[in-house]
Amino acid sequence: MTEAIVRVCWKCGKRFIKDDGCNKMVCPCGAMMCYICKKGIRGYDHFDGNHPPKDPRKCPLWSNSVITHAEEVRAEVLRLQEELDPSVTLFHNPLQDLPEVSIVVH
């Protein structure tokens, strides 16, 4: 499930996970990317600084990493369950320890 929350720099391939701060990521190589949509960016024009965002076409500048990661893990677990075999019962359900959140797609 860690792979669901890991980001990879689009320029150098460095892997990272955000635990706090804004969603504008600057890699040591100098590349900038959005933590939410994982796209390369140029500064803050990509973001809506309002909370909650008023412009649905923009990613939020600030977000709760715990909620973001829970949404991504939940989506990945559900995708893998469907892809592998929806009738299989897991010995440990990775969803049971996740906080209840709604999945938001950007």
| pLDDT given for residue 7 in this prediction | 95
pLDDT score of 1: 74
The whole-angstrom separation of Cα 47 and Cα 24 is: 8
Give the model's pLDDT for residue 101. Answer: 57
One of 9, 12, 22, 34 is an active-site residue; which one? 22
Q: Give SS3 for 72.
A: helix
Helix (H) or strand (E) holding 28, with range, is none
What is the token pair recorded at 13?
A: 């391939």
**C-alpha angle with apex 29: 32 to 4, nearest 5 degrees?**
60
Query: What confidence score (pLDDT) does residue 38 get?
Result: 94
Stated pTM of the model: 0.75
Please say if 22 is a catalytic residue.
yes
Measured between alpha carbons, how far is 68 from 99 in angstroms, rounded to an integer? 11
Per-residue pLDDT of 63-92, as tens digits, reads: 999 888 988 988 888 888 788 877 777 677
In tens, the pLDDT along 21-55 reads 899 999 999 999 999 999 999 999 999 988 778 89
